[in-house]
Amino acid sequence: MKYIQIGNVRIEKTAALAPMASVADKAYRTMAKGFGAAYCVGEMASCKGLVYSDRKTAELLSVSEFERPMGVQLFGAEPEFMEKAVKIAERYSPDIIDINAGCPMPKIVCGGAGSALMKTPKIFGELVRAAVEATGIPVTVKIRAGWDENSKNAVEMAKIAEENGAAAVAVHGRTKEQLYAGNADWNIIKAVKQSVSVPVIGNGDVKSVEDCVRMYEYTGCDLVMIGRGSYGRPWLFGQIRDYFSGKTPRFEPDLDEKLNIMRRHIALLVEDKGERTGMKEARRQAAWYIKGIEGAAALRNRFGSLNTLADLDELISEISGNAN
């Protein structure tokens, strides 16, 4: 097994779970880590929310020992709030603090944060410097290829991050304008890797062991990060870890195994958020797990009406019985 070093943090060179707002919560991260994710990053938290003592924002910084090494992610556009937020984040003892400069969602971009920072390199550099000077914890950044096809400036942004003390740079190979459509540009990840000396994390369009290996080989990146490719497939991290451990990657789970894994995931959601909220959020997770199986469309409708774990168990038994 090979490793990379981000500051004082040692990480297996397999695959990491990307930070995904409203997706990569504690239950999701626990499932990914349980199957072999090398590193996890929590959902992004607002710098201003933390500074103004918003309880829900602070909950996003929770770090369990099982999830380590784990990073927490902050978003904002004002260096003074970044500095204060980093000091608050320190209380939760994350292994890494990550700055979001890639989220393309309007409510984030309109405030000058997320991928809007791709258009304000000076402010971006000031944010990185403020974070680095506020803590001894390694600070990393996550950027996009650029704002649009005519302004792919990830190389410039990566250099600014490095100059201001960032310990690593993660690059999603899409522009802000692409959102999550089209193809990720691995050439921009490769260019960033060739332009900075800190570790570079590649992200975008990795959905299999083969994709992961190709990204490493094509871009030369130090670590591969997987987001949407892991939807309903936490075992992908195990398959990738098997490959890089010299083992034959485990087989794709059969239907019963997938249903059992889904049940474990949803039970974690309920344990963490309560049955009412957990089951509501579980409807989306279940849809990802059953994608591609026979009758998935009809099942999605039925999963959408589940309210309790007992309801879930009854439906799982029915699905399993019909398949056998």
Q: What is the mean pLDDT of residues 31-58?
A: 94
Q: Among residues of the chain, what percentage have pLDDT more than 90?
A: 88
Does the pLDDT of residue 86 top 90, yes or no?
Answer: yes
Q: Catalytic: 110?
A: no
Nearest in space to 99 (alpha carbons), one of 70, 126, 131, 67: 131
String of DSSP letters for 140-206: EEEEEEESSTT---HHHHHHHHHHTT-SEEEEEEEETTTTT-S---HHHHHHHHHH-SS-EEEESS-
pLDDT score recorded for residue 324 = 59
Q: Which of 95-104, 204-213, 290-299 has the lowest mean pLDDT?
A: 290-299
Q: How far, in whole angstroms, is CA 199 from its chain's centroid?
A: 17
Please name each of the domains of the chain with its CATH number.
3-244 (3.20.20.70), 255-323 (1.10.1200)
**pLDDT band at residue 318 using 50, 70 and 90 as cut-offs:** confident
Q: What's the pTM value of the predicted model, to 2 decimals? A: 0.95
**pLDDT band at residue 179 using 50, 70 and 90 as cut-offs:** very high
Q: What does residue 203 show for φ and ψ, rounded to 5 degrees? A: -145, 135
pLDDT score recorded for residue 58 = 85
pLDDT score recorded for residue 142 = 98
Does the pLDDT of residue 300 top 90, yes or no?
Answer: no
Average pLDDT, the chain: 95
Does the pLDDT of residue 28 top 90, yes or no?
Answer: yes
Nearest in space to 312 (alpha carbons), one of 294, 286, 276, 277: 286
> Model confidence over 128-164: pLDDT tens digits?
999 999 999 999 999 999 999 999 999 999 999 999 9
Does the pLDDT of residue 88 top 70, yes or no?
Answer: yes
pLDDT score recorded for residue 57 = 87
**Interaxial angle between packed helices 26-35 and 235-244, expressed in degrees from 0 to 180 and rounded to the nearest 10:** 30
pLDDT score recorded for residue 150 = 95
Does the pLDDT of residue 323 top 90, yes or no?
Answer: no
Report in angstroms the alpha-carbon separations of 253 from 235, 238, 239, 288.
8, 11, 11, 14
> Model confidence over 2-16: pLDDT tens digits?
999 999 999 999 999
CB atoms closer than 10 angstroms to residue 284: 15
Q: Of how many residues is the chain composed?
A: 324
Q: Which of 35-39, 244-248, 260-264, 291-295 has the lowest mean pLDDT?
A: 291-295
> Model confidence over 191-224: pLDDT tens digits?
999 999 999 999 999 999 999 999 999 999 999 9
Q: Among residues of the chain, what percentage have pLDDT more than 70?
A: 99
pLDDT score recorded for residue 92 = 95
Q: Catalytic: which of 103, 110, 212, 221?
A: 103
Q: What is the mean pLDDT of residues 179-200?
A: 97
